[in-house]
Amino acid sequence: MAVFLLGAALLFVQPQAVPSRPAASLKAEAATQKEPFRKGDLKESVHLNGTLQRLPQTIIIGVRKGGTRALLEMLSLHPDMAAAESEVHFFDWEEHYSNGLQWYVSQMPFSYPYQITVEKTPAYFTSPKVPERVYRMNKLIRLLLILRDPTERVLSDYTQVFFNHMQKHKLYPSIEEFLVKDGELNINYKAINRSLYYFHMQNWLKYFPLDHIHIVDGDKLIKDPFPEIVKVERFLNLSPQINASNFYFNKTKGFYCLRDSGRDRCLHESKGRAHPKVDPILLEKLHGYFREPNQKFFELVGRTFDWH
């Protein structure tokens, strides 16, 4: 396989070379690089091994603590995917965005022309400027959004920041201090705002049609990854290559690990941490608070999710 690919790549040193095997539209786009966003002189130098760095043809836009790392790792099981390893923060950080698209390209992995480049930056979903910026780069781009129960996401968001402080030997207030103000739910807590999915989704739908945004059910992906990943394969027009035996359940960890040509890997231990114990009355308030925004979200995307 590798030898064939190398040969093919050397035959067509031009990045415009269309792969000889049947290519669905997204892959054709990936291969020809004729996207409308290709502003002026983006430089792409082809390496002798036939790979090059290209703008992503799909982006995992969020949500923070939704399972974006798990999704990226699972998607990377597919040989036609090339994933940026770290979160690029191009569209949401001004100091990165001002570097321009050439800088963005330089952050991408080297890929073969038939591969789809993907990057994930969970903060994109909730950053108001990002949808328009992504649109200006490529209005045809396919977007991936992974969501989970908004209440669980709030607790996970808090837990992450709590552990970040612990690691630096810093104190961090209890979750109640963020969630409660004057005896009421503190809806100004940022983590709560990030879970108002309909609010952020509206910004994206101003620029992208719903069928260009695939929503992955993060709660399902963790419990039973394979069916969710098959849907992503289909959305990206990938050939069905990932199979059930790429996943195995690790009882000690309590969730799935990945098996990739004999190589096993589990997610970093910071994933799937236990959440803080929250007063049941407070938890019920959170569930109640999200009921209406969730309903709005379901109407917006024409689909329901099994959330509290």
Of 27, 34, 39, 65, catalytic = 65
By C-beta, is 47 or 303 nearer to ligand NAG? Answer: 47
Q: Compute the distance between CA of residue 102 and CA of residue 234 in angstroms, rounded to an integer.
A: 30
Residue 120 annotated in active site:
no
By C-beta, is 48 or 281 nearer to ligand NAG? Answer: 48
CA-nearest of 117, 114, 118, 119 to 50 is 114
Query: At closest approach, how far in Å is the CB of 244 from ligand NAG?
Result: 7
Candidates 257, 282, 283, 300; binder of ligand NAG (CB under 6 A) is 257
Query: At closest approach, how far in Å is the CB of 255 from ligand NAG?
Result: 9
Q: Compute the distance between CA of residue 200 and CA of residue 133 in angstroms, rounded to an integer.
A: 15
Using the contact rule CB under 6 A, the part of the chain among 16-24, 56-64, 175-183, 245-253 near ligand NAG is 245-253
Query: At closest approach, how far in Å is the CB of 137 from ligand NAG?
Result: 22
Q: Compute the distance between CA of residue 272 and CA of residue 252 in angstroms, rounded to an integer.
A: 12
Q: Compute the distance between CA of residue 190 and CA of residue 130 in angstroms, rounded to an integer.
A: 18
Q: Compute the distance between CA of residue 297 and CA of residue 292 in angstroms, rounded to an integer.
A: 9
45 counts as binding ligand NAG under rule CB under 6 A: no
Query: At closest approach, how far in Å is the CB of 85 from ligand NAG?
Result: 12
* Number of neighbouring beta carbons within 10 Å of residue 96: 16
Site map 48..87 versus ligand NAG, x via CB under 6 A: -x-x------------------------------------
Candidates 45, 86, 167, 252; binder of ligand NAG (CB under 6 A) is 252
**Annotated binding residue at 66?**
yes
186 counts as binding ligand NAG under rule CB under 6 A: no
Subset of residues 202 to 241 that bind ligand NAG, contact rule: CB under 6 A: none
Pairing of strands 180-181, 184-185: antiparallel
199 counts as binding ligand NAG under rule CB under 6 A: yes
Backbone angles phi, psi at 141, to 5 degrees: -60, 150
Reported in sequence order, the residue ranges of the chain that DSSP labels E, i.e. its strands, are 52-53, 58-62, 81-83, 110-111, 116-120, 142-147, 180-181, 184-185, 213-217, 247-250, 255-260, 263-265
By C-beta, is 39 or 291 nearer to ligand NAG? Answer: 291
**Annotated binding residue at 274?**
yes
123 counts as binding ligand NAG under rule CB under 6 A: no
14: helix, strand or coil: coil
Query: At closest approach, how far in Å is the CB of 181 from ligand NAG?
Result: 13
CA 202 to chain centre: 18
**Annotated binding residue at 120?**
no
193 counts as binding ligand NAG under rule CB under 6 A: yes
DSSP state letters, 214-255:
EEEEHHHHHH-HHHHHHHHHHHTT--S---GGGEEEETTTTE
DSSP state of 13: -
Query: At closest approach, how far in Å is the CB of 222 from ligand NAG?
Result: 15
- Contacts with ligand NAG, residue ranges (CB under 6 A): 47, 49, 51, 110, 187, 193, 196, 199, 243, 245-246, 250, 252-253, 257, 261, 264, 266
Q: Please identify every residue annotated as catalytic.
A: 65
